[in-house]
Amino acid sequence: MTFTAESPHTTMPPAAARFVDIPELLVCLGEVIANRKLLLDLCFTNKSFNTAFTPFLYAELWFNEGNAHILLDQLEALLANTALKHTKILDFYLAPGRLQREDKSDGELCQAFNEAIQAILGKTPNLTGFSWDAQPLFATTISALHSECPDLKSLSISHPVDIEKLRSTAFEYEDFDFEDGLFELRPLFETQDFSPFTNLTTLELHEIHGDLDQARRDIVKILLASPDLKTLSLSLNSDTVIRLDQEAQDIEEMGGYLDFLKTLIGEYVAAEGQTLHLRKLVLGLSIVLWEDDQQQPATYLDGLTNLSKLEEVYVCNNGVDTQLYFDDPDGIAWSTFTPETCPNLNILGLHKFTNDVERWIQNIGPGYLSQLRVEETLGHDISEICAALESNDEEASSKVRMLTLVDADATLRGADGLVSLKIPSLQALSVTLPQLTSDSRPAVLTWISSWQSLQQLYLQNVKVIVGEDTEYENLVKDIAAVTPHLRYLKLDGHSWRIWRDGDNGDKSQYSPEKLDKFEERSVEAFKSQRSFHVSE
């Protein structure tokens, strides 16, 4: 082989030009872009870009109140799009009434959405993830999902919170709207058979209702056929719990909902199911991990999963007005989760921060949890709790890095404003602010500025201190100015990325950029935990 010198007049193409001519590099770029508008713009750049980025643009379809009209008005064009073959994830979330059409009742919309999703499933053979939330789910939609998408790995279903009323089986449903068109559709969504699904890695079933014995048997079948399951999330519907409580003649007959989890595990073990290696376990409403005996760990959980593999656990220790209530002590087997039995556990979520929870945290010792999520603080001093979890060493797992507080009025409201949370290691905070006044803005900024390591922040109930929507942007700038390391910020329903002038080492130079919904979901502090929603 002979090499010759380049002519002095020969010029190499610029680096950017060489980059875009290499398809493999474009694919690498597409894998890290979450912004849908950017992906769309790249697809329109030229033919090679369109080929490279179209699979990423269509990798996930997410229908919500902002775009669900496409399923009604542009379905034919969508079904004709060959790019659906690239779709891996299909999400549908639309609560009844959130999309109003004068020409269609809620029932007609529900049927149209189910039929549209069924048609899309026929065009997405490579689907691996499916989620459905808040609308009545037709049995035929589940059948289509199973038959059309053989590679499904993730199944997440959350039925409407009023599903028992929609089925006309709730103990009380005088407020049911018989004119909305849903009543006549009951045979289509009364039952769904999930048992045929196999080889799942994620199973999330919320608002489980109807015949709980059948539902439990179906779940056991899925677990037996999904040895590689990593996430399990279950919760019962509160109207179902109330109905069963009213129908029961004695406490033994209430076991269907009181002992749902323990019975499920017993049936799984009896069927010789192999021990799973769950990473995430969500025990929602009435999925109670009761103590084996008084104040003893729930050793029967070992029959379901290897506890040493657990990394995230969420416990709904909130009841309803039935036999499902929690005294002090509450009977929940908190002592199951210890550094000895669950050495990899670092994220804990719970509904109510009770005395039992505080006693458990005080006993587990420091350096165990890095994230704590609390729905109701009940006035407990979270600073003291987090201090009990802190360790003196510098290992990442030894500090409380993230805190989520949803209802913390009694904890945060002080005589002189917001009570400071002394958690110096905090890097991510998600909190619902107490009811404030329009002149509380300086106090909120002072409160936030105490966390100089904060990188992610999500504040809810901010509207009163910003007034007009246009003021959100100004508050973003004010917050960024007092949090030198902040990278992501969400205020109510608006979210931003905070760009810092890192090249010059000047943290005071920043520029906010709006995040789209897909980018927003990847930020840890912005993620909601569906495990705690309790239908009332």
pLDDT score recorded for residue 248: 84
Q: Is residue 44 part of a domain?
A: yes
Looking at the structure of the chain, the number of domains it has is: 2
Q: How far apart are CA 84 and CA 457, in angstroms?
A: 35
- Mapping DSSP onto H, E and C, the string for 472-529 reads HHHHHHHHHHHCCCCCEEEECCEEEEEEEEHHHCEEEEEEEEECCHHHHCCCHHHCCC
Whether residue 392 has pLDDT greater than 80: no
Residue 6's contacts (CB-CB under 8 Å, 6 or more residues apart) are: none
pLDDT score recorded for residue 424: 80
Q: How far apart are CA 497 and CA 500, in angstroms?
A: 10
Whether residue 288 has pLDDT greater than 60: yes
3-state secondary structure of 291: coil
Alpha helices by DSSP H, listed for 104-211, are 106-121, 139-148, 163-166, 186-189
**Are the C-beta atoms of 200 and 155 separated by less than 8 Å?**
yes
Q: Is residue 440 part of a domain?
A: yes
Q: Is residue 36 part of a domain?
A: yes
pLDDT score recorded for residue 299: 92
Q: Is residue 535 part of a domain?
A: yes
Mean pLDDT value across residues 6-21: 55
Mean pLDDT, rounded, of the chain: 87
The DSSP code sequence of 383-424 is: HHHHHHH--SS--GGGS--EEEEEE-HHHHEETTEEPP---T
pLDDT digits (tens, 9 = 90+) for 274-284: 999 999 999 99
Q: Is residue 163 part of a domain?
A: no
- Going by pLDDT thresholds of 50, 70 and 90, the confidence category of residue 151 is very high
pLDDT score recorded for residue 176: 59
- Going by pLDDT thresholds of 50, 70 and 90, the confidence category of residue 17 is low
Identify which has the larger pLDDT, 341 or 500. Answer: 341
pLDDT score recorded for residue 10: 47
CA-to-CA dists, residue 177 to 132, 174, 455, angstroms: 23, 9, 46
pLDDT score recorded for residue 321: 76
Whether residue 293 has pLDDT greater than 80: no
pLDDT score recorded for residue 534: 43
Whether residue 475 has pLDDT greater than 50: yes
Last residue of a domain, one of 57, 81, 99: 57
pLDDT digits (tens, 9 = 90+) for 54-74: 999 999 999 999 999 999 999
pLDDT digits (tens, 9 = 90+) for 395-425: 545 578 899 888 888 788 776 678 888 888 8
Highest mean pLDDT among 205-219, 431-445, 491-505: 205-219
pLDDT score recorded for residue 436: 84
Would you mind telling me the total number of residues written for the chain in this entry?
536
Q: Is residue 447 part of a domain?
A: yes
Percent of the chain with pLDDT over 70: 89
3-state secondary structure of 432: strand
pLDDT score recorded for residue 19: 61
Whether residue 346 has pLDDT greater than 80: yes
**Are the C-beta atoms of 43 and 49 separated by less than 8 Å?**
yes
**Are the C-beta atoms of 26 and 50 separated by less than 8 Å?**
no
Identify which has the larger pLDDT, 435 or 304. Answer: 304
Identify which has the larger pLDDT, 118 or 397. Answer: 118
Identify which has the larger pLDDT, 383 or 149. Answer: 149
Q: Is residue 466 part of a domain?
A: yes
Mean pLDDT value across residues 515-527: 89
Whether residue 370 has pLDDT greater than 50: yes
Asked which of 259-268, 409-418, 507-516 is least confident by mean pLDDT, the reply is: 409-418
Identify which has the larger pLDDT, 394 or 439. Answer: 439
Whether residue 3 has pLDDT greater than 70: no
Both tokens assigned to 477: 């700038």
- Going by pLDDT thresholds of 50, 70 and 90, the confidence category of residue 391 is low
Highest mean pLDDT among 228-232, 285-289, 434-438, 506-510: 228-232
Whether residue 320 has pLDDT greater than 60: yes
pLDDT score recorded for residue 68: 94
pLDDT score recorded for residue 200: 99
Domain enclosing residue 398, as ranges: 392-536
Classify burial at 461, counting beta carbons within 10 Å of its beta carbon; exposed 0-12, middle 13-18, buried 19 or more. Answer: middle
Whether residue 381 has pLDDT greater than 90: no
Whether residue 118 has pLDDT greater than 60: yes
Whether residue 1 has pLDDT greater than 50: no
Of 270, 269, 261, whose CA–CA distance to 291 is shortest? Answer: 261
Q: Please tell me the pTM assigned to this model.
A: 0.91
Alpha helices by DSSP H, listed for 45-181, are 47-57, 70-73, 75-79, 106-121, 139-148, 163-166
pLDDT score recorded for residue 4: 38
Whether residue 147 has pLDDT greater than 80: yes
Q: Is residue 244 part of a domain?
A: no
